[in-house]
Amino acid sequence: MKKSEKSKRAKLANLIMQAPLAVWMIAFVLAPFALLAFMSFMTKGPLGIIQYKPTIANYKEMFNPVYATVIKQSLVVAVWTTILTVLMGYPLASFIAKVKAKTSSLLTVLLMLPLWVSGLVVLYSFVILLNSSGVINSFLMSIHLIKEPLELLYNNFAIIVGMIYMFLPFAVLPMYSSIEKLDPGLIEASKDLGAGPVKTFFKVTLPLTSPGIFAAVILTFIPCIGYYMVTDMLGGGTSLMIGNLIYRQFTVSRDWPFGAALSMVLALIIFLMVFIYTKLGGDLDDLGA
């Protein structure tokens, strides 16, 4: 058999193997995205009926102070959640990477265990913990540390706590993968050259594990900025994020064009984050770690 025929068969085999993924991507990623982009320039008609009259009014509407405040609120909550999740997750990832293999496997399973529980059950548990007559306030009052219940629920504090709990595993796993690949010989070399633990961490460990940190930032920030269930249940409707606003446009307000425009802005923020991630040296393969 000639080499050209083998090459043609190999290309045909590759096309056949890639065809299902290509069809899936077109049907469930590109087509819905194109539909949202098209709908974002349409006009809302009576009773929520879409009128196919091109307009940019949906994007202008975002400059309304009410919606601008929601977008700002979303960014603030997402940034704080990402920072705190990474700061909490890095020591945990480092600890898991340094223990024995069996212990590491057990800790990884325990880390993923909350993801096997329904999100609604988890969030209702936080409501029980954080409300004025909940476990935390009752305990603090019983030991006379506080005289009145603390306002731990239905505010940004509760939202950030819920977000951290939901996304901590997604932040720990890529950082754990990056720390585990770190060559211990480099740490020993740094110590032999006279560097202390702090200098070794900032000069050797942190730069070499930065891909995992970048991946953790992306895997936390992107879902956090559009996640509306935590805000609804722990924010009590007092705090809105982009995800809540989009959900309400498609359900309550039945303003699909404006909801599509908000979705496009959210997508733009996500693409911008991924672009910055790649420019800072991150590998997109680490996002699947």
Q: How far apart are CA 280 and CA 213, in angstroms?
A: 11
Domain boundaries, the chain: 1-29, 64-288
Q: What is the pLDDT of residues 111-170, one digit of tens each?
A: 888 888 888 888 889 999 999 888 899 999 999 888 888 889 888 899 999 999 999 999
What angle in degrees, to the nearest 10, is found between the helix axes of 156-180 and 119-130? 130
Helices (runs of H) and strands (runs of E) counted in the chain: 15, 2
Helix (H) or strand (E) holding 202: none
User: pLDDT class for 2, splitting at 50, 70, 90?
Assistant: low
CB 47 within 8 A of CB 57: no
Q: How far apart are CA 64 and CA 61, in angstroms?
A: 5
What is the pTM (predicted TM-score) of this model?
0.84
CB 178 within 8 A of CB 286: yes
Token readout for 157 is: 């504090």
Give the distance from CA 214 to its chain's centroid: 12
Find, among 287, 278, 257, 274, the residue nearest to 44 by Cα.
257
The CATH classification of domain 64-288, taken from the options 3.50.50.60, 3.30.10.20, 3.40.50.1820, 1.10.3720.10: 1.10.3720.10
The three-state secondary structure class of 157 is helix
